[in-house]
Amino acid sequence: MSVEETIAAAKAKAAEHAASAAANLPTTQAAQGSTAVAAMQQGAAFSMKQMLIGSILVDAWIQVSKFGLTIDKDKGSLIEKVKVSIDMSAIALSYTVKFGKDPVVYRKSYDGLNCATGGTWAEAQAVAQSVDSTCRPYRSADIPMVLLEPWVSKTKGKEEEYKVGMNIGYTTPTTGWKHWENLWKQCQAQGLGSSVVEVELGYEAKAKGSNEWGLVTFTLLGEAGEGGEE
């Protein structure tokens, strides 16, 4: 059975459970003596802040390998480090599950109740574990940033410049939380927990057996605008 077929089967099973639960909801006695399903409580209206949770608007995403950092899949943009600014109040934190191999599928929740792509977080985890029984949720951060220096790409003798002010993003992978947490703790200790800070991005090459990958590292340079660019 393919990953798509397995996911579809798991979703169908989750839907059956939901229907069964709905059929067994407690009932209340109506005034005329008939039974009626208890009315759902009306929740509070969503605020704009709530609707923006997980909404990261960037022009491109940083990718990292054992060789360094690139913009999306632009191999000509490979560099070792770059300066950016990060608004520490704009980070979207989530729990993520990763499953499947071809393709790899990601599902995440920003509130612990709902899956960002639809359905409940519990259903998303059930689907993931039906494909890979060993997968577990991991902490993740979607980090929007602004370039503070040009990022040059060299491909086939041509140069392209990703300009200062460009909005880029990075999402921490399964093993990438530690570096982000270290930056967050440094900012908290310096009273910059909700500030825009200047950071130098680098990378750390990792290997386990035949598997090789890279992680983005964060070096705090200070509050943006203090002796540097804003």
pLDDT digits (tens, 9 = 90+) for 136-155: 999 999 999 999 999 999 98
Domain, as residue range, for 67: 3-223
Rounded distance, CA 91 to CA 162, Å? 23
Whether the predicted pLDDT of 37 surpasses 70? no
Residue 94 CB contacts under 8 Å (≥ 6 apart), including other chains? 54, 108, 109, 110, 116, 139, 140, 141, 142
| pLDDT range class, residue 22, cuts 50, 70, 90 | very low
Average pLDDT over residues 11-31: 46
- 45-75 confidence digits (pLDDT tens): 656 665 666 667 899 999 999 999 999 999 9
> Is there a domain that residue 228 lies in?
no
**Would you state the pLDDT for residue 51?**
60
> Is there a domain that residue 230 lies in?
no
Of 142 and 8, the one with more pLDDT = 142
| pLDDT range class, residue 8, cuts 50, 70, 90 | low
pTM of the model as a whole: 0.76
Average pLDDT over residues 104-133: 94
Query: In the 3-class helix/strand/coil scheme, how is the chain assigned residue by residue?
Result: CCHHHHHHHHHHHHHHHHHHHHHCCCEEECCCCCEEECCCCCCCCCCHHHHCCCCCCCCEEEEEECCEEEECCEEEEEECCEEEEEECCCCEEEEEEEECCCCCEEEEECCCCECCCCCEHHHHHHHHHHHCCCCCCEEEEEEEEEECCCEEEEECCEEEEECCCCEEEEECCCCCHHHHHHHHHHHHHCCCCCCEEEEEEEEEEEEECCEEEEEEEEEEEEECCCCCCC
Whether the predicted pLDDT of 226 surpasses 80? no
> Is there a domain that residue 229 lies in?
no
- 164-190 confidence digits (pLDDT tens): 999 999 999 999 999 999 999 999 999
> Is there a domain that residue 15 lies in?
yes
**Would you state the pLDDT for residue 122?**
96
> Is there a domain that residue 100 lies in?
yes
**What is the number of domains present in the chain?**
1
Whether the predicted pLDDT of 1 surpasses 70? no
**Would you state the pLDDT for residue 155?**
82
